[in-house]
Amino acid sequence: METDPGLESLRRHRAELRDSMTALEQALAAPAGDLSGTWAERANVALVELSADIREHIAVTEGPDGLYPGLLVTAPRLCNSVASLTREHVEIKGMADGLLNRMSEPIVSTDVDAVRELAIALLARLSRHRQRGADLVYEAYQTDIGGET
């Protein structure tokens, strides 16, 4: 049985997004220590990568040749789910942009907990969004896109 190249691309992208989420989670979990810059720098690098993957995810799903336009042609019954996921993109991108702005300011020891809380909220939101996206693809194509390689 031949695999749909679009779904294979989606699986790869999904795995990349998960890897970026894991990198941010690991950066956040590292000891902040004396904040000589290492913790904030590592967290910022991971966040920049995750933000790029979020933008790519939005392009891959919402773009003219993206998942959602094609899905709506083959499964118009899922238009409410697609609309909901599209709205979530706005929220997730806003959360990531807000955190990027916060990370562009100098981080002092009293900021670490707040930055971690914002980032954890973003990761939780993304995790739920990824699951809802996988459920949508499964409902439309009866295919599990997984995302872990």
Q: What is the pLDDT of residues 63-75, one digit of tens each?
A: 998 899 988 998 8
- Give 88-108 pLDDT, tens digit per residue: 999 999 999 999 999 988 888
**CB atoms near residue 135 (< 10 Å):** 12
- For residue 2, the model assigns a pLDDT of 44
Question: Is 147 a member of any domain?
Answer: no
Cα 59 to Cα 24, 86, 89, 116, 138: the distances in Å are 21, 11, 10, 27, 20
Question: Is 134 a member of any domain?
Answer: yes
Domain total in the chain? 1
- For residue 1, the model assigns a pLDDT of 39
In the 8-state DSSP scheme, what is residue 36?
A: S
Question: Is 146 a member of any domain?
Answer: no
Whole-angstrom distance, CA of residue 37 vs CA of residue 15:
29
Name the H helices within 30-111. Answer: 38-62, 67-74, 79-103
**67 in Cβ contact with 44 (< 8 Å):** no
Work out the pLDDT band at 35, boundaries 50, 70, 90.
Answer: low
Work out the pLDDT band at 135, boundaries 50, 70, 90.
Answer: very high
Work out the pLDDT band at 16, boundaries 50, 70, 90.
Answer: very high
Question: Is 148 a member of any domain?
Answer: no
- For residue 33, the model assigns a pLDDT of 79
pLDDT (average), residues 105-121: 90
- Hunting for tokens 């914002």 — which residue is that? 118
- For residue 126, the model assigns a pLDDT of 97
Written as six digits, the tokens of 131 are 């699951």
Residue 32 domain boundaries: 5-141
Between 38 and 82, residue with greater pLDDT: 82
**51 in Cβ contact with 97 (< 8 Å):** yes
Work out the pLDDT band at 109, boundaries 50, 70, 90.
Answer: confident
For residue 97, give the amino acid letter. Answer: D
- Hunting for tokens 């967290």 — which residue is that? 43
pLDDT at 129 over 60: yes
**CB atoms near residue 6 (< 10 Å):** 14
Whole-angstrom distance, CA of residue 74 vs CA of residue 76:
6
